[in-house]
Structure 1
């Protein structure tokens, strides 16, 4: 989830945990709570974890003063199942889906530059309404919905989680990052062994206009040596696009030799580098 090219703060480690079974709290009135480690599910750390449908995580972290003028992103590897995030009492966004990464942008008015910032995350998991496992009967699943009527268990995507204990909470890493006003919203790499190349697909957000912005795309081989570099000017009317980047004499990935390349993508503007992301990828063809 995180990228070493971006200035960032690792928010893994000890947070405070508050079970809110009766939905009594909000982001500005949280008790101190109990220690909990992130990443990790609360079922493995909290006494009597079942029937906790709603819970809060909170902690503080300092935003460097020299980050002022940039954009702050709070990125989560995954939160099970639905969550909303507050920074210093400002709701900055929400996400639904327990297995997908996401990042939320903190507006300037929510950030205390050069000071401690309070982050609070409200987490809801309707799967935790089940108190006894395995819950194979449909009736048992439907009966559990009374504990989370606004988020019915039957409407939450799930597989065998009703067969065994659910996992709830912030179960993957969290990181705060500074990016430019214009920054990457997505970056994907698709290898093409036959063409000795890869396709880089991107989406840019933040700036009112992408005119004048360009991408610098560098491919590094498994030993870290640069093997190609491509410059692409962004179209005025498009915030997404793709480009082919050469991968000469590709070294193939396989189980016995899992060689990985790295694509380093830099977003450049008149003021210099706006953002930078890197993605690892393997050169491999899969067929039947």
Structure 2
């Protein structure tokens, strides 16, 4: 499948962007497992599943190519991928935007990890499971919307939609992708804007050996640098403050966003780089009003209830 025809081709994590990534959306092998016997039947190591599906659309949806509206307590996915040669000395992370509800993942027949929760993204470090050439990825998703122990939102517990409960969503329903990172990389950062002080607080977390590492943070407004700072890693964290030259507040009328460049360096040599963004605004409560940038914000809200008919959740 060409890049132009991959569904949801955009980078799935816009506030934490790296250059080296690979979108795994598109056609996967697929099999329903109503008896939950797939593991006993050897599906984690199978060369082929019985059908196909278009990821990331749930099998209940028309866009998936499956369009099965019945209950599916267990489903299986499989595809192969060749890791780019330029990633040879990198750590490889496999990301899932969302799988409803319980997921297990195998790489080349070995279980690499699991996740519980249908609405949260997760990632697995799969470097040690990979081999040269083609690598097999197998996913099993279990989903029981009729169980009182499983949060299912407004997914119907009956065969048909009823009342304000709608078509169910099973399995993968958000983008699947690979990411290549160095041995030591920027894992995440908490960004806290300070409108009154015209600055941004950064609390970054580093994964891997961080001794001697320095975080370089640069803010841009419309492509022009408006602030830069650096901080030495202490343990696996770095805390920094960018003083901004000039203030342009975020508001619904002017939803301006600053660009943020985060670099990890060691002895002046680049180690990792992430691009992000932030808005400069303040929120406070002055009963009965909610204040945005020090002014009361009138909220006019509409409930748009129901799911997208072709992709349901996706």
Normalised-by-shorter TM-score class? 0.7 to 0.9
Q: Cα RMSD between the aligned structures?
A: 2.1
Give me the whole-angstrom Cα distance separating, in 1, the residues matched to 2:218 and 2:260. Answer: 6
TM-score (norm 2): 0.75
The residue correspondences of 1:115-130 to structure 2 (distance < 5 A) are 115-127=133-145
1:244 alignment counterpart: 241
Partner of 2:48: 31
Secondary structure of the residue aligned to 1:27 is helix
Q: How does 1:209-224 map to 2 (within 5 A)?
A: 209-221=209-221, 223-224=222-223
Task: Report how many residues are paired.
Answer: 257
Aligned-pair distance for 1:171? 1.2
Where does the alignment leave 5 or more consecutive residues of structure 1 unmatched? Answer: 128-143, 145-152
Q: Distance in 2 between matches of 1:229 and 1:43?
A: 49
Counterpart of 1:5? 18
Tell me the residue number matched to 1:180: 182
Structure 2 counterpart of 1:111: 130
Distance 1:83 1:276 in 2: 30
Name the structure where helix makes up a greater proportion of residues: 1
Corresponding position: 1:192 with 2:212: no
- 3-state DSSP of counterpart to 2:60: helix
Cα 1:228/1:244, change in 2 over 3 Å = same
Q: Partners in 2 of 1:125 and 1:240 — Cα distance?
A: 37
| Separation (CA, whole Å) in 1 of partners of 2:267 and 2:44 | 39
Give ranges in structure 2 of 5+ residues lacking alignment.
1-11, 157-164, 285-289, 291-314
CA shift, 1:31, in A, is 3.3
Q: Which runs of 4+ in 1 moved over 6 A?
A: none
Question: In 2, distance between residues paired with 1:4 and 1:202?
Answer: 15
SS in 1 for 2:78: strand
Shift of 1:19: 0.9
Question: Hey, what does 2:273 align to over in structure 1?
Answer: 276
**TM-score, normalised via structure 1 length:** 0.81
Tell me whether 270-279 or 167-176 shows the greater mean CA deviation.
270-279
Distance change >3 Å, CA 33–CA 184, structure 1 → 2? farther
